[in-house]
Structure 1
Amino acid sequence: MKKDIHPDNYRLVVFKDMSNDEMFLCKSTAETKDTIEYEGVEYPLVKMEISSSSHPFYTGKVKLVDTAGRVDKFFNKYKNYKK
């Protein structure tokens, strides 16, 4: 194994899923400026758009997220191909 290729600044970080406010604590080297109090202790915060607690593959629930009408554009573009 090569020496000195892995970072040595691991620390406890809170990851927060912004779609459902689920949080979990894990070691990471991710840089962040935000902090949050988690279980009475303040930790660095990494905000995520999606995690295993909100991803349709893991939850079995389909959630349609429409950003700036992209879904409508798609349906309008391909509406003539519908059988």
Structure 2
Amino acid sequence: MANSRHRKPDDRSNNVERIRDIVKNTEEKVQEAEISMEFADPLESNRLKEKNKRRKQSIEALKDEMKDEMTARKKGEV
């Protein structure tokens, strides 16, 4: 219980790699959903299209975050 009072230090040293993995996994989910759409009914297909739209927006935001982290790493801030 004593550990709950102390926060862990902010370790950004692996953020670029972690974000890269998240992007890769999300891109794979987009591809899987596109395959599933071929076999889905119109309602499910629409749901998957909307979900992929949100996923693609997340991917773009994550790529921007990864650029920021790489810049911070180069500047020695990490």
Alignment TM-score, normalising by the size of structure 1: 0.27
- Give the structure with the larger helix fraction: 2
Alignment TM-score, normalising by the size of structure 2: 0.28
- Give the structure with the larger strand fraction: 1
